[in-house]
Amino acid sequence: THEVTSTESMPGKLLQPLFDDERVLLVAYNDQKPNSNSSTPKAHAKGLLATDGETAVWLVHSVPRYPEIPVYKYPLTGGRYGQSFLCMSLQASEVDKVATQLRLMVPLIYYTRTPEAVLARFPILQQVVAGKWQREAPFQNKVKLATLSGTKFKSFAKSGKAVTELYEDVIAPALDVNLLVETWRNGGGNLETNCTRSDKVYNIQEIKEQQLQIAFNTTSDHSKWAVSQESGFQLWRWRVGGADWLCVGDINRQRDQLVRGGGSVCLKNSKVAQLYRQLIQGYEPCPRQSN
């Protein structure tokens, strides 16, 4: 294994070859761009989309000021707290689906490399690169994505104009599950656990990894993910009839983010969901006035 700061790390080995190949289209976005202390009222969204016109990569992550381009570098600030990454290898046919989500979220794009012949294949991505954002309703959207290996994802996105909370207003009702959510809880305006609806949303408070003997509070974690609460029934070693979802995204459960764009990408997989559930040491219960 290699430190995330190394070009030999998984993200380093993914990104540096993309940076080096001038034939590859790149769109990088981050509400806190590299080598800058400023932030933006645009989407609370971080990621990178790359395509050569035949296949594509979409990286969704939580790391401020990352990645630097054209030489891979991981920021020192990204090592202070926990972070999350989700990387999807896609067919080129999925690129404009991703672009539809970006156009709705209105991210701060800090780097583009747009070979003309490649960009010409993607009319919606052209609008994103040109800053032609979606200004009309609907202000939230869901698209289905499939990776090169056939793994299916659901991407959820919202505009700041939606004035909604992504997890309780969009994802939980769409998946019809209770969600346990891990997002940044430092600063003001944190939203409490919501149990007023049939699909409840709980704030995770503590993470613990037994094998590595690591434990920390959510205030030490900058990652953004959510996992569905266990449902269905246990049949020997397996759970039957449940909905096992894991979502990785880039927006927090905080009041000021109701008016900012953002999104999350969800995978239905019982093994992956259970691995994430095992990390949860504690979560905020329902407020007393809730059921």
Task: Summarize pLDDT for 128-182 with one digit per residue, the tens.
Answer: 999 999 999 999 999 999 999 999 999 999 999 999 999 999 999 999 999 999 9
> Of 2, 44, 61, 222, which is the active-site residue?
222
Q: What is the pLDDT of residue 242?
A: 66
Predicted confidence band at 198 (pLDDT cuts at 50, 70, 90)? very high
Q: What is the pLDDT of residue 288?
A: 82
Has residue 218 got a pLDDT over 80?
A: yes
Q: What is the pLDDT of residue 211?
A: 85
- Helix, strand, coil percent values for the chain (each to nearest 5): 25, 30, 45
Q: What is the pLDDT of residue 231?
A: 79
CA–CA gap between residue 152 and residue 139 (Å, rounded): 23
Has residue 291 got a pLDDT over 60?
A: no
E strands within 15-139?
A: 25-30, 46-51, 55-61, 85-91, 109-113
Over residues 74-80, the mean pLDDT reads 90
Q: What is the pLDDT of residue 237?
A: 64
Which backbone phi and psi does 43 adopt, to 5 degrees?
-55, 145
Has residue 99 got a pLDDT over 80?
A: yes
Q: What percent of the chain has pLDDT over 90?
A: 85
Q: What is the pLDDT of residue 1?
A: 78
Residue 143 parent element (H or E): strand 140-146
Q: What is the pLDDT of residue 260?
A: 97
Residues β-bridged to residue 111: 28
Q: What percent of the chain has pLDDT over 70?
A: 95
61 flagged as catalytic: no
Each residue's pLDDT tens digit, 29-67: 999 999 888 778 899 999 999 999 999 999 999 999 999
Has residue 290 got a pLDDT over 60?
A: no
25 neighbors 37 (Cβ within 8 angstroms): no
Predicted confidence band at 114 (pLDDT cuts at 50, 70, 90)? very high
CA distances for 29 relative to 6, 47, 63, angstroms:
21, 5, 11
Each residue's pLDDT tens digit, 227-247: 999 976 666 666 665 689 999
DSSP 8-state secondary structure symbol assigned to residue 190? B
Closest listed residue to residue 137, CA positions, set 158, 122, 154: 158
Over residues 106-121, the mean pLDDT reads 98
Q: What is the pLDDT of residue 103?
A: 99
Which backbone phi and psi does 66 adopt, to 5 degrees?
-150, 145
Has residue 212 got a pLDDT over 90?
A: no
User: Position of tokens 């034939």?
Assistant: 23
Q: What is the pLDDT of residue 55?
A: 99
Q: What is the pLDDT of residue 19?
A: 98
Q: How far apart are the first and last CA of the chain?
A: 46
Q: What is the pLDDT of residue 186?
A: 87
Work out the mean pLDDT of the chain and round it to a whole number: 94
Output the pTM of the full model: 0.94
